[in-house]
Chains A and B, each alone.
Chain A
Amino acid sequence: MKEYFQLQYKITTRKCIDAGVQPLLACLLATIAFVGFSQYLFSKTTFAAPVYLLLALAVTGKFSDIKRNDFLRLCFGGSKHKKIRVIENFLIATPFVIFLAFKQQYIPSLLLLLLTSLLALFNFRTTLSITIPTPFYKKPFEFTAGFRNTFCLVAAAYILTGIALAVANFNLGIFSLLLIFAITLGYYTQPENEYYVWTYALNARRFLFAKIKTALWYSTCMAFPVALVLGIFYPQQIITLVFFFLAGWAFLIFIILSKYAAYPDEFNITQAILLCCCISFPPLLLVLIPYLFYKSQNQLHSLLK
């Protein structure tokens, strides 16, 4: 059992090193990001505790995958396997539990501990094999697959918009708009197999334009309904809405170009730092987008002549 956790530690440190960041620094950055996100969530909505609870359960639920657990059971046997699962879920839930306790949400904190321990005893499919319909089937693959992976989150963003209108909270509405753009950014963080770049009968420049065009069109399809209802209920805030919509587009372009600027490697720490800089100071995007476009063109040149 000890070996299992030592191996998990080794795998995690290797992943950090592969991403070009020292494990200690990665740990520090992850802690800052986690606390920052948690703080932001609790500052923006009164529904933070249940959202936080669901989020923690969704993360721990990933470890209940049937295939994964079949493998662990084969390796460690029944009782050891259960111990591993309980410890694993406890470790994952700990940061959430601590933050909830810090926010004096003691009941959700205890509830989370209980639920994650119970979750360790159940295994289930973490991926659906039924084909989820998608409106983005005409231009595969990012939005096609991405929508299917995140349709619950997209639905949650729309529900949040409804809540924002019901409680007359424009800021919550903006949060739901940004949540939709944040979801779409996630569709572009993993580099695809080189075959799916190579196969395009386009040069690097036209390829990048095509990817950006699809992303802007499909993200607009997802985010426009939110912007529209917010615009109808808050006509005096149209300028703010337009600003956030344009910012969403700009960040989407930034992420696409960041991905191909590092291609075929994964999104690395440098790009993560640049993203953080852009979030703190968005005008930086105006400089970084042309730079990343140039870099992406160079990276793709060998595959797309």
Chain B
Amino acid sequence: MINVCNLSKHYGTNEVLKNINLSFETGKVYGIVGENGAGKTTLFRCIAGLEAYKGSINADHTPLKNHLGLLLTEPYFFSKITGAEYIRLLCNARNTTITDISSRNIFDLPLQQYASVYSTGMKKKLAITALLLQGNRYFILDEPFNGVDIQSNIILTEIIHQLKALHKTVIISSHIFSTLSDTCDEILLLSNGEFTDVVKKENFSVLESKMKAVTIGNKIEKFGLQ
């Protein structure tokens, strides 16, 4: 479980996160949705301890960062490091020994090639593979489905179900609603640094309709496509 209490974050005078209080329970998958700039990535960085913040973030496994697999929106890769070496680097960092990396290559990546020459989707799959092999208790996946092919999206959805079955806590952000409705137990709506809605699985369709109505409105009609 991760408990977030009175979390606030400022960049200068700009308040990006406003007094956030929430709990992420063990064995559950949470989706975070919000427009660009709503504060999702900042929230993730605060939970990970990559940003200073006001308030407190606690977890049942401490320090939280040592048990957290964080997938950044655009993972950074060193040049001249192969996929296999990237996985080894991340596993070494968590004192996890992987004897046969090639047998754990779930996305069939060319692990002997330099990771920096991978496509966007392959880079994301490599980063996800490494996080899974680290043996984390908690996962924050910022846009895990972006740029990833359909086949790998299917695998990733199954992996998230498996993580839930293994009592891990998973937090996902995505701009593709269907990926969240397939995987999440709850979806939290973040707007201007505040959570404005928490929706349970049974009400996902209502949320989707509501979001469509609010987002689209009469914009398409006004645009006048011909």
Contact = CB atoms under 8 A, between A and B. Distances in A.
Interface of A: 127, 129, 131-132, 137-141, 144-145, 148-149, 192-196, 198-202, 302-303, 305
9 contacts: A131-B114, A137-B84, A195-B72, A196-B93, A198-B49, A201-B95, A302-B49, A303-B50, A305-B63
A198 B47 CA distance: 12
B76 A137 contact: no
A140 B114 contact: no
Contacts of B95: 201
A141 B85 CA distance: 8
Given A141-B85, A196-B89, A302-B52, 11 more contacts: A139-B92, A144-B81, A145-B79, A193-B76, A194-B50, A199-B70, A199-B93, A200-B94, A201-B65, A201-B66, A201-B95
B94 A141 contact: no
A140 B65 contact: no
A211 to B, nearest CB: 11
Contacts of A140: 78, 81, 85-86, 88-89, 92
Contacts of B92: 139-140
B49 A145 contact: no
**Main DSSP-derived SS at the A contact region:** loop
Interface residues of B, number: 30
A265 to B, nearest CB: 17
B162 interface: no
A138 B112 CA distance: 14
A141 B63 contact: no
B94 A201 contact: yes
Contacts of A192: 78
A148 B70 CA distance: 28
Contacts of B49: 198, 302-303, 305
A198 to B, nearest CB: 6
Contacts of A195: 50, 70, 72, 75-76
Contacts of B94: 199-201
A201 B50 CA distance: 14
Interface string B41-52: 000000011101
B82 interface: yes
A131 B113 CA distance: 6
Given A139-B92, A140-B89, A141-B89, A198 B81 contact: no
B102 to A, nearest CB: 14
A131 B79 contact: no
A144 B114 contact: no
Contacts of A141: 78, 81, 85, 89
A305 B49 CA distance: 9
B90 interface: yes
A200 B67 CA distance: 10
A139 B80 CA distance: 14
B117 interface: yes
Nearest to B87: A140
